[in-house]
Every structure is written in structure tokens, then in C-alpha cells.
Amino acid sequence: MTYRVVWFKRDLRLHDHAALCHAAHQGPVLCLYIVEPAQWAQPDAALQHFEFVRESLKALHLDLQALGGGLQLRTGPAVQVLADLHAQAPFAELVSHQETGNAWSYARDLQVGTWCRSIGLPWTELPQFGVVRRLQSRNTWQARWEAHMAAPQAVLPGVRFVQPPHSQGPDSMTAPAGLDHNPRQRQRGGRALALETLHSFLDTRAQGYRGGISSPLTSPSACSRLSAYLSWGCLSMREVVQATRATLDALPPQASRHRAGLAAFLSRLHWHCHFIQKLESEPEIEWRNMHRGYDGLREDDWNPEHFAALTSARTGWPMVDACVVMLHETGWLNFRMRAMLVSVAAYPLWLDWRPVGQWLATQFLDYEPGIHWSQLQMQSGTTGINTTRVYNPIKQAQDHDPKGIFVRRWLPHMRRVPDTWLFEPWRMPPEVQRHCGLSVGRAPEDAIALPLVELADATRSAKAALHARRAQPEVQAGKKAIVDQHASRRVPDKLQRKRQGKSTTSAAPTPPHPQLGFDF
């Protein structure tokens, strides 16, 4: 019997699943997920990712069973698994979504492509996001993104399933040895929870999006919280864009706050794919500077003490340390605080972005390589085309946690620190420390860490080194090629939708807001 294999990767859903729909239209299908030990041995993998995937696969398996099928689970290198499956029962086509992943998955896909060609097997890869493979010019990207988002969602026809003997489902998954970091308060996987999160945001929580996403206090509810579900494919990007636009169109004119939140969120969905496109077009930005003129800027000055203090929440800056603890406990942090962590690592601590990025990849449940590595380089100043962005952790605390609620929640020992000294506790006079039963110092047993460096001096020195490199004629000369390849050509949403012949009444974006800018 001729059948097709649908290879699920980071697309763990049935709804708007172009690969499954394509295969189902051709004939019987086998739905396959491959647990690849080498994938989970990569330095950007964490136990929380594995567990989220396992939860999502269980939900997917149940959805497939409701249609009369199921998800087949195999373990091993992808080429070996596919070759064994083909030897047992030859299939006519391999079908999957395109994946813009890390260097390991890129190399794996090249190997699978080579194997397919060696036996004359077609491998059909279909777009999942608004990311264009082999994009020739950024000038065409915006229109192609819009065309993908405006296209009808893939509708699953009746499916005939192939059930191989002795098949295994997601219940047989066991976490590979060596994986760690599974936050107690992380989000759980699966499409049902993804839809619940989507609808709660579109219906109510979006009202707090503008004005609420910068503070670590309000962002857990003001942000959409869809990032993990998009990263692992429990929702499709097109589904979310169209649902957001439909909600926006249905709102009355007087719902100005709600409309502003949804319009700002649509802008973020666009930037999601914009950043992934960078990695798709230049996979090397995962491991080397986007602008090669910045090679050697920080790499040779690696300070293990600074890195250890950052990862163990012992930098001495309460806002930074509280964010690290929140990450450890929840696997999530809002964008501004993520940018602050990278900024502190890159400037006053003068740490190279690559190992910092590998650590943060394990901390973020929603780790999306295309967004992650582009942002690491942007916030570290190695793209060569972005404004230097330096976040002062003391000012961030004063602006976004003025009463110290966030800091005291995640750093219990700070609850004894008076408000006057909360964001600079190392300045507490000795008598105040004694009165509060606290001490400040570098020793591990001290409750409050002393900052590793003097913030203003270290930041000033770091910026001077970066700007000196940026001022070099050869570095300035290299900017144009980066702009041509990666810079946005975004057309305003109102104009774009008008070009598409759609109503612009409710979709017009509100004026730019400082907290929503990424400095693109």
C-alpha cells in the first residue's frame, strides 16, 4: 500500500497543518515524531523543553486517535529512523513543515535531504511561519508575509491512517539522561491550553498589553503568553494573526484600549517572523557575529566569575537577580527584562553573547532560535546596524518596580531591606544592616551579594570600547551589506491591508509607543 509519512517537528497540532493536509489529500498517512537523542544533547536544550514537547505530543496523539489514527513515536537519528521505516514498508513521500532551528537541526535536515535524494524519495517541506526559504531580496518579504497570513487556513480532509505493527506512542517517551532545568511554575504544553491562552488574551487580557508588558509585575498577564505555543507549534502563526484581526474588526470604536493592545500585538507577530527570517537567511548568526567587524570584541575577555554570578542570581543588582530567579522558577520573562539581562551581561559584565545565549536558551521555555540569536546580537551591539541599547538595572527597577514588589517576591531576603536601600542595598550603612539582620558581601554565605563591578564605570568603559570599534572605517563600510540582507522594509499595517483590499477601520495601528520598540 502506498502511503506518506508526515514528520512532526515543531508543529505539534492538527489545525492549519499544511503538511498533514497535503499528505492526507494524496492518500494514507503515517504520523511520525522522532525522538533524536543528539537533539536533546545540544547545549541549548533543557528538560523543560522536553517535558513541554511530551505534553504537547500526548495531546496531539489524543486528537489523532479521535480521527481513527495516532502518533507513531520512534527514537534514534532521523535518517536511520526514516531508512528503517522505508525498508520495512516503503512510503511514497516524506512531508513536513520547514524548520528554522539551530545549527544541529539545520545539519540534520541536510542529511535527511541527502538520504531522500539518494533513494529518489520526494521530501515536501511547506512553510509554517511567514518565513521565506531561499529569499532573494528583503524587498519582497513583507508582501510575502502578508500573503501567507491572509491565505485560508489549511483544512484537514478525511484521513486514512497507516498503523504499523508494534507502534509506540508518546507515553513511551523518557527524558534523556543529563537534561535538567524544569521550572516548577512553567507553562504546560498542548493545544487545549494554547487555545485557552489565546482566547483569554484576545477577549480580555489584551486590554492591558500597552502599558503592561514592560513591567515584570504586570507582564505575566498583560503579555499574550503565546510564545511557547507558537515556538513548539501548538498554534499556527496564521491562525493567531487571523484570530487577532477578526477580534479587532469586531470591537466597537469606543473599545480604544482593547483595540490599541491588539494592534500592538499584531505588530509583534510581524516582528516574530522578521527575526526568524534573519536566521533562515544567515544560519551563521547563531555562532558568529552578524557584523564580522566585531569579531574579538569580547570573546578573549571571558570572565567566568561574572558569568557564574549572573547565572546564579548573585550579580548584586536586585532587579537582575530577581529576573534570573523568576526565569529559574517559571521559564518565562517579559521582553524588557530579557533585554536588560543581555545588556547587563554584554556591557558592565562584558560577557560574550554566545555562551550567555546558550544559557538563556535553556532558561526560556519559548526558546525560538531565530528570535533568540538575533536579539542576543542586537542587545549586545554586534549587528553593526542597531543603536546601542544599554539598560541600567537600577533605573529599570525604579521605573518598573518602584515599590519593590517584584524584587521582594523573588528574592525573599530583600524583604528585610528598607525601601530607601532596596535597589542599591550595598549602600546600606552598617547599622542599618545590623538592624535588619543582613550583611552585604561577596562571600556565598552573605544574603546580599556585592556588585561585581561599579555599574557606571564599567558601563562607560564597555560603551567606549564598542563605539571605538564601530568608528573604524572598515566596520562602518560593512554596514550596507547587513542592511541589504536583514533590515526591515516594513510597510505600515494600515497601508498593507489597504493594498490587500481589506477593511482598515479597526486594523490601523496606533501611534508607536516607546515600550513596543525593538530599535529595528
Q: What is the DSSP letter of 416?
A: G
- What confidence score (pLDDT) does residue 447 get? 79
CA 16 – CA 129 distance, rounded (Å): 11
CA 341 – CA 456 distance, rounded (Å): 16
- What confidence score (pLDDT) does residue 1 get? 67
Q: What is the DSSP letter of 299?
A: G
- What confidence score (pLDDT) does residue 441 get? 85
Q: What is the DSSP letter of 477?
A: H
DSSP per-residue letters across 130-174: S--TT---GGGHHHHHHHHHHSPPP-----PBP--TT---GGG--
DSSP per-residue letters across 433-475: HHHHT--EESSTTSSEEPPSS-HHHHHHHHHHHHHHHHTSHHH
- What confidence score (pLDDT) does residue 510 get? 38
Bridge partners for 34 per DSSP: 74
In the numeric block, the cell 531522500 is attached to: 116
Torsion of CA 416, 419, 420, 422, to 10 degrees: 70
Residue type for 141, please?
A: W
Residue 397's nearest CA partner among 384, 385, 386, 410 is 410
- What confidence score (pLDDT) does residue 169 get? 83
pTM above 0.85, yes or no: yes
Bridge partners for 385 per DSSP: none
**Residues 289-334: tens digit of each pLDDT:** 999 999 999 999 999 999 999 999 999 999 999 999 999 999 999 9
What CATH number labels 292-481?
1.10.579.10
**How long a stretch of residues is the chain?**
520
- What confidence score (pLDDT) does residue 520 get? 37
Fold of 4-128: Rossmann fold (3.40.50)
Q: Are 125 and 9 in contact, with CB atoms under 8 Å apart?
A: no
Q: Residue ranges per domain, the chain?
A: 4-128, 191-281+496-516, 292-481
Bridge partners for 161 per DSSP: 29
CA 62 – CA 50 distance, rounded (Å): 18
- What confidence score (pLDDT) does residue 216 get? 96
Question: Do 292-481 and 191-281+496-516 fall under one CATH topology?
Answer: no
DSSP per-residue letters across 303-329: -HHHHHHHHTT-SS-HHHHHHHHHHHH
Residue 425's nearest CA partner among 410, 409, 441 is 441
CA 182 – CA 179 distance, rounded (Å): 9
459 is written with which cell numbers? 558601563
Element (H, E) at 225: none
Q: What are phi and psi of 278, to 5 degrees?
A: -60, -45
SS3 for 478-497, per residue?
Answer: CHHHHHHHHCCCCCCHHHHH
- What confidence score (pLDDT) does residue 491 get? 53
Residue 57's nearest CA partner among 211, 209, 170 is 170
Gyration radius of the chain's alpha carbons: 24
CA 433 – CA 163 distance, rounded (Å): 68
Residues of the chain with pLDDT below 70 are 1, 165, 442-445, 489-520
CA 49 – CA 231 distance, rounded (Å): 10
What CATH number labels 191-281+496-516?
1.25.40.80
- What confidence score (pLDDT) does residue 164 get? 74
